[in-house]
Amino acid sequence: MDQEIDLINKNTRNERILNFFKKNYKIFIFLVCLIIIVIVIFFGLEYLNKKKNLKLSNRYNSITSSYELKDKDFVIKELKNIIEEKNKTYSPLSLFFIIDNDLISSKVQINNYFDLIINDIKLDKEIKNLIIYKKALYNSDNISEDQLISILNPIINNNSIWKAHSLYLLGEYFFSNGENQKAKEFFEKILITENANEQIIIEAQKRLKRDLREQN
Compute and round to an integer the Cα radius of gyration of the chain.
30
- Between CA 19 and CA 111 the distance in angstroms is 66
Reading the chain (216 residues) residue by residue, the pLDDT tens digits are 545 455 445 556 666 666 666 666 667 676 667 677 767 665 555 656 666 767 888 899 999 988 888 889 999 999 999 999 999 999 999 999 999 999 999 999 999 999 999 999 999 999 999 999 999 999 999 999 999 999 999 999 999 999 999 999 999 999 999 999 999 999 999 999 988 999 999 999 999 998 887 644
Quick count: other Cβ atoms within 10 Å of Cβ 204?
26
pTM: 0.76
Per DSSP, the three-state class of 200 is helix
Question: Which of 91, 96, 102 lies closest to 57 in space, CA to CA?
Answer: 91
Q: What is the pLDDT of residue 212?
A: 85
- Between CA 5 and CA 59 the distance in angstroms is 75
Concatenate the DSSP letters of all residues of 14-74 into one string.
HHHHHHHHHHHHHHHHHHHHHHHHHHHHHHHHHHHHHHHHHHHHHHHHHHHTTGGGS-HHH
pLDDT digit string, tens, across residues 77-135:
999 999 999 999 999 999 999 999 999 999 999 999 999 999 999 999 999 999 999 99
